[in-house]
A and B are shown apart, each in its own frame.
Chain A
Amino acid sequence: MGSNLIDALFVFMLAAFIGFEVIRHVSPLLHTPLMSLTNALDAIAVVGAIVLVGEKKSTFATVLGVIAIVAATSNVVGGFFITDRMLRMFKSSRPTK
């Protein structure tokens, strides 16, 4: 547990720094699709809910887990879908005209 915790903190710290560095370079043009994309990626929380439901440890946990899967999956599907729609709209004036 102890070493797991330390590992996890290191992972968090490194990922936060990578996040800052990568996202700092995102053009303000794309801030809306950026937010819908990170939202979709964040819905990876669905994996926790899947394990929770699959392990069937208690009815209470299963019920909460199923609702959680529904909520997160709608973010995954909706998030990727709308991000793609948005990005398809961004066209440069150079190639077409």
Chain B
Amino acid sequence: MPTEFAGSQYLIEGIYLIASALFILSLKWMSSPTTARHGILAGEIGMVLAIAGTLLHHGIVDYKWIIIGLVLGSGIGVPLGMVQMTAVPQRTALSHAFGALCVTLVGTAEFYLRSPDVPKFMMSVLSLEVILGGLTFTGSLIAAGKLQEVLPQRPITYKGQNLVNLALFAVAITLAVYLVLHPEAKQFFPVIVGIALVFGVFLVIPIGGADMPTVISLLNSYAGLSAAAMGFVLNSKLLIIAGALDGSSGLILSVIMCKAMNRSFTNVLFGAFGQVQPSAAAGEEAKPVRSATPEEAAAILAAANKVVVVPGYGMAVAQAQHKVRELYDALTKKGVDVRFAIHPVAGRMPGHMNVLLAEADIPYDRLIEMDEINGDFPQTDVALVIGANDVTNPAARTDQSSPIFGMPILDVDKAHTVMVIKRSMNPGFAGIDNPLYYLENNLMLFGDAKQFVGAIVRELGGGH
């Protein structure tokens, strides 16, 4: 490419420069809901410009298959853009897989086109590209499968698992280093790709549903870094920039998720959280809990001044968000101040609850972050927990022996009255008992979230 920098090449690079600026602006405008839709427009313009500019590339001799690919991809993309909001986590995982697939395939093709004389640096980034791309591809597919529940959500663990994973990774790196030094040893390349693919599967199968927000963010970061590596291979600054932006975005989200669970990266990846703690679960017989009917719950809510609703993954599973909106309307009409407390890891991906509640038409200024709302719980009349468990567990503050000790939680137990909608007393996903349920100011509302909220709304005289 650098040999003859033809006129069209200057034009293409100029277009790429504009596209890069638009991508950065696009992310900058995502900082607030009022400007976010400009951000999409900027991103779209940048993308169309970049693709159009690429088509001017002087090396392109045949457009037929490019057009076919673009049309087919758009055909798949439209239904993927129309999925239900509850299915957004698995859709996101699937798109990480597609992005990584693209990068891995291009990297593989580039290797065979360039081999055997691949410069050392080129070979290093090529290896990085296909290793990161390969493991992100299969890892994201497994994550999507778990989220779609075609695969078991429980962590799949076995003895020596971490050792096997580390060994696999070490073999891939060793082979990559060998290939950098001896680029003519072509036969090792497919082995490296194969190991990366297997490694991705092994990396994600031990991870439970509750850790999905971190894993999706981490896979997002890997997808970005592999794209940046591809940018180094193709000497494309645009690709390096887009990959670096995506990589840092994923990394920031992973760090936020880890902090919200008080866990480290290594702990998420190698800890296999979510196993039932036999000692904790077996210990005690049923402690007394107090429960209430929808009528009683409605009366308590109607008498309150301030209500904070705490939604969790259970609300998404029960598809209860629209009923929750009716509850919000009915209470607001009675002059009750209703807000929503959003824990960073509630749901299966960063921001999951916000999107579900926004879909149900709940104004976004009613959705309050954990740090902001925690101080308000002592002045809250009723905290209504819908399908959330571990993020409200006071043991995280007090019980040093609890596996979630130290995790920041929503302090619902400080509200005057706590009401928890739950199917039964079974422990939550992580298998950890929640002392909240035995507190004196707590009422259990046993039943399906959607039906129970619906029953409360009927009592309040709203909804249909």
Q: Which A residues form the contact surface with B (CB < 8 A)?
A: 1, 4-5, 7-8, 11-12, 15-16, 18-20, 22-58, 60-62, 64-94, 96-97
B394 at the interface (CB under 8 A from A): no
A42, B266: Cα distance in complex, Å:
26
A13, B70: Cα distance in complex, Å:
31
A89, B36: Cα distance in complex, Å:
12
A74, B73: Cα distance in complex, Å:
4
What are 25 pairs between A and B in contact, CB < 8 Å? A5-B232, A22-B31, A22-B245, A23-B27, A26-B27, A28-B354, A30-B31, A35-B217, A38-B224, A45-B239, A48-B106, A50-B55, A54-B55, A58-B112, A65-B69, A69-B102, A72-B73, A73-B74, A74-B77, A78-B76, A81-B77, A82-B82, A90-B364, A91-B358, A92-B365
Indicate the member of B44, B121, B358 with the most A CB atoms within 10 Å. Answer: B358
Q: If the complex has contacts A12-B240, A53-B69, A82-B80, are A20 and B50 also in contact, measured as CB distance less than 8 A? A: no
Q: Which of A8, A54, A56, A91 contacts B364 (CB 8 A)?
A: A91
Q: If the complex has contacts A19-B244, A39-B92, are A29 and B354 also in contact, measured as CB distance less than 8 A? A: yes
Q: Tell me which residues across on chain B come within 8 A of A16, comparing CB atoms.
A: 244-245, 247-248
Q: Which of B72, B240, B344 contacts A8 (CB 8 A)?
A: B240
Interface of A is mostly: helix
Interface residues of B in 73-109 (CB under 8 A from A): 73-74, 76-83, 85, 88, 91-92, 95-96, 98-99, 101-103, 105-106, 108-109
Q: Is the CB of A93 within 8 A of B366?
A: yes
Number of interface residues of B (CB under 8 A): 113
Closest 4 CB pairs of A and B: A73-B73, A81-B81, A77-B77, A54-B60
Closest to B229 in A: A12
Q: Is the CB of A70 within 8 A of B81?
A: no
Closest to B233 in A: A48
Interface residues of B in 340-358 (CB under 8 A from A): 342, 344, 349-352, 354-355, 358
Closest to B97 in A: A71
Q: Tell me which residues across on chain B come within 8 A of A15, comparing CB atoms.
A: 240-241, 244-245
Q: If the complex has contacts A19-B27, A86-B355, are A38 and B249 also in contact, measured as CB distance less than 8 A? A: yes
A6, B170: Cα distance in complex, Å:
28
Q: If the complex has contacts A52-B110, A87-B37, are A82 and B231 also in contact, measured as CB distance less than 8 A? A: no
A97, B350: Cα distance in complex, Å:
28
Closest to B119 in A: A1
Closest to A57 in B: B113
Q: Which B residues form the contact surface with A (CB < 8 A)?
A: 2, 19, 23-24, 26-28, 30-34, 36-37, 39-40, 43-44, 46-47, 50-51, 54-55, 57, 59-63, 65-66, 68-70, 72-74, 76-83, 85, 88, 91-92, 95-96, 98-99, 101-103, 105-106, 108-110, 112-113, 119, 121, 216-217, 220, 223-224, 227-228, 230-232, 234-250, 252-253, 256, 342, 344, 349-352, 354-355, 358-359, 361, 363-367, 369
Q: If the complex has contacts A27-B33, A76-B47, are A54 and B62 also in contact, measured as CB distance less than 8 A? A: yes
Q: If the complex has contacts A54-B61, A54-B63, are A42 and B223 also in contact, measured as CB distance less than 8 A? A: yes
Closest to B24 in A: A18
Q: If the complex has contacts A35-B349, A38-B224, A77-B74, are A45 and B102 also in contact, measured as CB distance less than 8 A? A: yes
A49 to chain B, nearest CB (A): 5
B312 to chain A, nearest CB (A): 15
Q: Tell me which residues across on chain B come within 8 A of A11, comparing CB atoms.
A: 237, 240-241, 244
Q: Is the CB of B101 within 8 A of A67?
A: yes
Q: If the complex has contacts A38-B224, A69-B73, are A87 and B106 also in contact, measured as CB distance less than 8 A? A: no
Q: If the complex has contacts A23-B27, A29-B33, A45-B227, are A67 and B105 also in contact, measured as CB distance less than 8 A? A: yes
Q: Is the CB of A25 within 8 A of B33?
A: no
B244 to chain A, nearest CB (A): 4
Q: Is the CB of A22 within 8 A of B24?
A: yes
Q: Tell me which residues across on chain B come within 8 A of A27, comparing CB atoms.
A: 31-33
A80 to chain B, nearest CB (A): 5
Q: Is the CB of B102 within 8 A of A43?
A: yes
